[in-house]
Structure 1
Amino acid sequence: MGLGKKYREVLVLRYIHELEIKEIAEILSML
């Protein structure tokens, strides 16, 4: 039980992580 919730949390964390990578890449490209 709760496997679906855990899977969704992992997807959300991965999505946030990808957004952070994109933001960091944009900031670095501006320097």
Structure 2
Amino acid sequence: MGKGTSQYELIEILSPEKTIKMKPPQKVFEGEPS
């Protein structure tokens, strides 16, 4: 179960990190209309 918990924690940390990293670029593109 130790490995399972580690994987779940990694997924939970990667999910928010990816969402946060993907959100800033999108907002910047929308804020700066070409």
The ranges of structure 1 where at least 4 consecutive aligned residues each deviate by more than 6 angstroms after the TM superposition are none
Identical-pair percentage: 10
TM-score (structure 1 length as normaliser) = 0.71
TM-score (structure 2 length as normaliser) = 0.69
Find the structure with the greater CA-based Rg: 2
Unpaired runs of at least 5, structure 1 = none
The yes-or-no answer on 1:2 pairing with 2:3 is yes
Give the paired residue count: 31
Q: Distance in 2 between matches of 1:23 and 1:12?
A: 17
Unpaired runs of at least 5, structure 2 = none
